[in-house]
Amino acid sequence: MVSYFEWVQNIQGFMWDEEKVNRELKTFLARFERVATSALPCLSHNHP
């Protein structure tokens, strides 16, 4: 996951400090959790 952020900062042409990487990672994981959690009822409904 962190390698993705390294790739992004290389494309943008600047370096993120550790705090910025951690903030971006936390935001990404929270977004992923919301999407995954909202998909669970659909998945469990299709598979008894």
What does the block give as tokens for 18? 């550790």
What does the block give as tokens for 48? 């008894």
Q: What is the predicted pLDDT for the residue at 45?
A: 58
Cα–Cα dist 43/9, whole Å? 35
Domain ranges of the chain: 2-46
Q: What is the pLDDT of residues 27-42, one digit of tens each?
A: 999 999 998 888 777 7
pTM above 0.85, yes or no: no
Q: What is the predicted pLDDT for the residue at 3?
A: 84
